[in-house]
Chains A and B, each alone.
Chain A
Amino acid sequence: MSGHSRPKTPLERLAEAAALAALLGIMLAVARLSPAVPVAWQRGGRDIAAVGFFLLAGTLASNLLEVLRLPHLTGYLLAGIVVGPYVLHAVDHDTVADLSVVNSLALSLIALAGGAELRLDSLRRGLRSLGVATLVQNGLALVLVPLVFVLARPIIPFAREMDWAPLLAVALLWGVVAITRSPSAVMGILSQTRPQGPLTDFAVGFVMTSDVVVVVLMALVVTTVRPLLDPTATVSLAAFLELGHEILGSIAIGTTLGLALAAYLRFVGRQILLVLLVIGLVLVEVISYLHFEWLLTFLTAGFVVQNLSRQGDRLLHSVERTGEVVYVIFFATAGAHLDLPLVGRLWLAAVLLFAARAGTALVGSRLSGRFAADSPALRRWGWAPLVPQAGLSLGIASKIAGEFPAFGPQFGALAVAAVALNEMAGPVLFKIALDRAGETGAAHPATGRGPEPTPPARPGAALPS
């Protein structure tokens, strides 16, 4: 966001810290002056002020955290957490809920950018890595994470009294939550650091396509475990028919949208911001109304623009420009959403499940790296982009919770706690990985190490650097 050309002086940092404190002071003073439950005329003002504050505070906090080499995204999240309803309460629950409207806009931009980052030639060269990693990572996560869940039964309140069959079912459902990744966090880090290399290509390819994998696996697992939770239930394949319709329809609409976007960029090329707003605010609703998957639709659209036209870079540039503002608000709002008291109550189980998931990703990365003969950098750091989780994970957890009301609320609460840890730690780990793999161009004064060596490329073996 700040994208400055020279390092900031201590005085400039001080000015930013003072400005952040002043803004926070105004926000708190206004919150104290206003009634706890705002009257109708104050509600709009409260929401508008919160958007502005999140944008300013998130940006300033991220600038200040640059000193610690933390990703900007962490600054946005922290700003949201600190001013949100669980810490300083400068922004209340209702306002945070109202601001969720920005989510669809941010996620649609992320999906478009993610699709446009998937270049066919890179994908083709890294197909083996991606395929092997998808199989190994998801397979391991669906075995190891549920195993840890079962073993952690004594510290998971709602699982303690369960019989073995339902416990196994719930553990498998937890495995589905564990295989969700965060396209938003990955794209947020990429948008800040603009890295290039095999880890970057792998991260984009894996995380963007994981959306489809998760949707399919969720349908499969939910259908399979239902008889374990409800003895009267039978296995029905109707869900797969609906799923197939949803996926194919989304790809078809995405292709059409991508071609239309490419034509617009080629022949008109103006007012792209407004076109993106129409896509993120209006088209999202239309696609949801038609029961298609809008993330997949926009992912396809971005992919089509990048690979079937010459407008890919232009689209990426426009999305990045818009995203620079939208992502700050999106992540700060996500930070404000984090239910810290809940994380506090479930911290032991959440930490254990977080560690199990990260550990699984690490083991999976080593294994798949060996099978696919990946580059050392990818073998060493390929797990890091798989750690972040955010809104998509909570969405999946919420869907599962809705499907099984008997334990749904407790399952959802545990998911919030675990996702919170992944949301905070994941982006930091991914940025460190990109720095250490030498793909951000950042020097490493702490270690003094340069980029890790990449072996000579072997056909079909590894992603290119």
Chain B
Amino acid sequence: MTENNPIFDQIRSDIDSNDVVLFMKGVKQQPACGFSHTVVQILRAVGVQDFKDVNILLDPDLRQGVKDFTDWPTFPQLYVKGEFIGGCDIVREMYESGELTELLKEKGVALNAAA
């Protein structure tokens, strides 16, 4: 876990160049885990138009790198505008209370009007 870890650079570049990034098991079209699936569903439900999905199952170094980068032991991990929002439990809680929509609006993330 060093500051010049090239994987950290890759993660930073992903979360800096995409409004919403989900580090997950599988891909958004086909999540490979129930918790990842839940967060994909929630992002759709709140009307997030597009988000970057990063499949951490493809690369063990990336998987460990994201855990170290966020200091968070599990997946999925949701980032909005470069900020770690939480894992499945937190995202679900925020969705149910309406906080997630508030946060996305506050941060200027494009949402579908119908949501």
Report if A and B associate in a common complex.
no
B-binding residues in A (CB < 8 A): none
